[in-house]
Amino acid sequence: MSDATDPWLIVGLGNPGPEYAANRHNVGFMVADLLAERIGGKFKRAQKAQAQVVEGRMGPPGPASRRVILARPMSYMNLSGGPVTALRDFYKVPTDHIVAIHDELDIDYGALRLKLGGGDNGHNGLKSMTKAMGADYHRVRFGIGRPPGRMQVADFVLKDFSSAERKELGYLVDRAADSVECLLAEGLERAQSAYNS
């Protein structure tokens, strides 16, 4: 079992490369980028994994502060499990101290849901992570809604947010980052009651 001194591994899921940067599928990267900014770090290449990482502390100074490793897998979404497992092993992170931040089709745009464990709901990043290390990690699910009309899911998630969505995106990414900080500082139940919508 994990204890308060164990580090946390916070993984923003997405695809590497500038052509994907503003896609709906990359909202996990967007939240990880903001968290890195908040702890004053810059992503650098991980030594032992195909990922970029930032190490630091999150939360108030003193005993309540948590050691964190923020990560962006550089393997493409559907292979995320390999880099995440390598980072987990290298940093000795218990699986229940891993948080995956990802886009979620079955939730309205901008709504958040935090949970521990569960299925992958067809999300290839989660599918890869669960196959590599089991399902007992936290998820911060960022709603992107369903594709309009007959648009294929794969096309929808690999498109940039619409101009209407972009008006709110900064605020929503900020709120998702707040929810991660709350999860680490106050636990899942408190974070769920404050941020689940």
State the catalytic residues.
25
HEC profile of 74-102: CCCHHHCHHHHHHHHHHHCCCHHHEEEEE
* Maximum pairwise Cα distance, the chain: 52
Helix axes 163-186, 27-38, angle to 10 degrees: 60
Of 171, 51, 33, the residue nearest 161 (C-alpha): 171
Q: CB under 8 Å, gap of 24 or more: what pairs does 32-40 form?
A: 32/70, 32/71, 32/72, 32/101, 34/173, 34/174, 34/177, 35/10, 35/70, 35/177, 35/180, 35/181, 36/70, 38/177, 38/181, 39/68, 39/70
